[in-house]
Amino acid sequence: MSLLVVGSVALDTVETPFGTIKEGLGGSATYFSTAASFFTDVQLVAVIGEDFPEEHIRFLKERKVDLEGLERNMGKTFRWQGEYGYQLNEAKTLKTDLNVFELFRPKLPTAYTKAPYLFLGNIDPTIQLDVMKQVVAPKVIACDTMNFWISGNRDGLLKTLAGVHILMINEGEARALSGEFNLVKAAKVILSLGPKTLIVKRGEYGALMFNDNKIFAVPAYPLESVFDPTGAGDSFAGGFMGVIAQNADRANISDATLRQAAIYGSVMASFCVEAFSLDRMRSLTQDDINRRYLAFKDLTGYEYTA
């Protein structure tokens, strides 16, 4: 079943201790839709400028991402520039040029309004809410946000959250949104704002999923070489929502399905960080994904009885 994502498509310039990439393919919606495309049909809503390279369009088409909702407007494509130290968890943003993204007010193609699954990437909560309203009968709505909106458009964010089923944010964002430092307390506050499920992303430490008084700990896959963490969170979200959409026929999403989705999220994030931009996704196969999913079993499994 179709999974609709709205977010950014960008050209990223990134420096890590292991190398530099200039104007590589990036953006939350790009990472999300590429990761999700290994599991389900994806409809992409985003904006690019006149200068957006055709090769990136070709890549997304090869991944069978539906691009009817990808607007091309006058002006330049959104650009982000950042750098990471050895502590790869924290990006330092050097420059953000919103360009065409600044005035982006998404209007969904008619076909998209029937999407049962929806991911609202990290954009202005007021726009997230507007997109939500354009979808006729969504089954599951997930979203991301950031401190800029938590402090800058809190009212808008609270309105969006009231209609959202799954929120995926990082530790600092969970603390800022809830006003609680302790994550278990933070989760209780956030789950009272609307979402039924909260996923707290913790970078190289994985994620915690809070759902119905249950907590699920998902590790990040320990890699010998983490090349560039850009897009890991969106790749997690893409793998997660891809698996949720795969289970479309189920009336209610069970805790078991949410847990599997979270593991696949971590699987997709682990591939994302192995190379710059979306480069690892270019050669990724279903077999690679299956093998790493199995490796997670080995990473977390133990026998209960001695």
Site residues for its own copies per CB under 8 A: 86, 181-185, 202, 205-206, 208, 214-217, 219, 222-226, 243, 246-247, 256-257, 259-260, 262-263, 297-304, 306
Q: Given the complex with its own copies, which of 100 and 262 has the nearer CB atom?
A: 262
Q: Least distance to its own copies from the beta carbon of 297, Å?
A: 6
Q: Least distance to its own copies from the beta carbon of 271, Å?
A: 16
Q: Given the complex with its own copies, which of 1 and 215 has the nearer CB atom?
A: 215
Q: Least distance to its own copies from the beta carbon of 107, Å?
A: 35
Q: Least distance to its own copies from the beta carbon of 110, Å?
A: 32
For the chain, where are the alpha helices, taking DSSP H only?
28-36, 54-62, 125-134, 147-152, 154-162, 171-178, 183-191, 232-246, 255-272, 279-283, 286-300
In whole angstroms, give the CA distance from residue 230 to residue 228. Answer: 6
Q: Beta strand 207-211 with 197-201: parallel, antiparallel or unpaired?
A: antiparallel
Token pair belonging to 61 = 């088409």
Q: Given the complex with its own copies, which of 53 and 222 has the nearer CB atom?
A: 222
300 Cβ contact partners less than 8 Å away, ≥ 6 residues apart: 219
Q: Least distance to its own copies from the beta carbon of 301, Å?
A: 8
List, edge to edge, every strand of the sheet that includes 166-170. Answer: 70-72, 42-48, 3-6, 117-120, 140-143, 166-170, 197-201, 207-211, 214-218
Q: Given the complex with its own copies, which of 49 and 242 has the nearer CB atom?
A: 242
Q: Given the complex with its own copies, which of 37 and 122 has the nearer CB atom?
A: 37
Question: In this structure, what DSSP letter does residue 278 have?
Answer: T
Q: Given the complex with its own copies, which of 148 and 205 has the nearer CB atom?
A: 205
Q: Least distance to its own copies from the beta carbon of 99, Å?
A: 35
- 72 phi/psi in degrees, rounded to 5: -115, 115
Q: Given the complex with its own copies, which of 46 and 209 has the nearer CB atom?
A: 209
In whole angstroms, give the CA distance from residue 20 to residue 22. Answer: 7
In whole angstroms, give the CA distance from residue 151 to residue 140. Answer: 26
Is residue 108 within 8 Å of residue 131, measured between CB atoms? yes
Q: Least distance to its own copies from the beta carbon of 286, Å?
A: 14
Q: Given the complex with its own copies, which of 55 and 86 has the nearer CB atom?
A: 86
Token pair belonging to 197 = 């499920």
Query: Looking only at Cα atoms, what is the longest distance across the chain?
Result: 66
Is residue 21 within 8 Å of residue 11, measured between CB atoms? no
